[in-house]
Structure 1
């Protein structure tokens, strides 16, 4: 619209200037005017030419004054061309960048597709891991429940542990019952024949041992009892919970050492002589019981009857659980007694106190000697010293027996007696 208006203005101005120039030329021609001494005709031509020049000049001047585009076309064409070239170059550069961007976009798109596939695969793996995690959590819960049950069972086992002593003491009764059951198996011919063969073998072995012992003894006093009924020959501790073979070996070693002790006591020079006889069935049963017990077991070998010189020692195995009864320094028994400074009364007081200490230790679980009923021993010098210490007091005196060392069921109990005034 702006260009149409500009053309209309230029047309009107050109027409007006042409009209004025024509009138001016006609007027000059009619008046026969002369410029620079020229003929009127030539002067009219010059006026017409000048008028045309003025038309062009005025038109361009007006267009230049009015239109920025005309000014740019007249005076800024070179700059415009240079700018156009620069813009074209920039357009080419941007086009190249656009192509590179498109290529990069395609690359990124490919990478995005690959990453999307990887993310999808990772999501699937994550879902699988979550499923496995749920399974592991379920297994963990089951393990926790099992652990809780195991702890509960362990607590029950600890509570039942105190009952083991009485249970082990009943093993002898159980053994007798088992022996009676074995005796009642007469109807089972195969077992009866096996037992008969084993019994005959034991009898033959016993006869051989009797002959060998009679030959091996250098000095014999006929009719002299060397071991009384129930006398303890040896006390040892065998670890429980091991294989039957290992338990049998450990138990056999305990029997072998007891046999060696008997030979030393009898003064027999032939150390290979077997003087201790224990029934094979009793030995096997004891080994099986020890192997099934998950704690140390006291094995006490004692005599079945009186033994005289020239006869083999018939022994039996007694099993007891071995556990800690007293820690070092623990008080075994304490009481307050009267002390008058009299030696005889002091001795009686100490002896009665020691008997009470022995009874307290037996009640607590320490195995006493089956013949003497004691759980320990004290030298005469120690007893004399304690009596003298009690004799120094008069009035009420407090006697306290404490364990010198950690003491187990097998014993023996070693005590330290503390004496102080009870006032």
Structure 2
């Protein structure tokens, strides 16, 4: 409460009422008339004017003392207009605020839904993550397997191409074989010779030259060409290595000249040298095999029996370190005449006979195994020996 304003209004009202009363009494005593009125009416008019002056004085006092009263008296309509405008703006603000509140609630709801969806997605992602890692590992493994398969495919492609080339070569070789135009076969021995211990290099080179001449004569005899027309293709570096391996050695060596590949008539013949240790395996006259044969047996077949014995001798010789022919796998051969003479003797013999296979000469590692057949009755009488 504004006590100063209230006290001021009471005092001013009292002073003005007092002054109006004094002025009215004086005018009434003097019997003054205004505007042709009677004194009583004049007194009443003065009293009314005094009340008006009191009101004016109160308003003036309030206006002077209170800024709020001045505002209420002189700016009320402006303030009311501002209040109405502010009220409208407030209402609009409240509406906007409510709308924003609703929008915010809707946004919060959507945000909660999005958060819930995000949580659900995160949970699903957490569940999928191990499978994703497993799938990545499987993909990596499959990628490696794919690369391996591609590498194997490339290798197989190369192998297939190589096999095709080899097949074509074999096909051509087969055609040549069928047409009888093969001069030498791969791995075939074209000549061999022994080299004695401590041979000097010149002697060894002479042996190698002789081996080449042997090879030329062998091929020339097959093809009908002159040995001078036969061309032997050899790696000179390997030939020098083979000569070095034989020259000045304390042990006996043997050298074989081998065909590296099939060659048709007129082609150069690729050759290589095989150098191995040579030592005495069988001495002359040493019995290599002995078997008793019963002529009276129901299953007796002298030719088959003799073939079987020779195969057994061949096997035994290989087991005893004789180096076989790489193409035929045999270590020697028996003359057909000698073979069938022995068969004839076995057919004509009666009872049990003993067949001995002996070394015809000293036989070394390189062979060949030359043999003699001795057919004796078990009573000791010699039927045949050659």
The TM-score with structure 2 as length reference comes to 0.47
Larger radius of gyration: 2
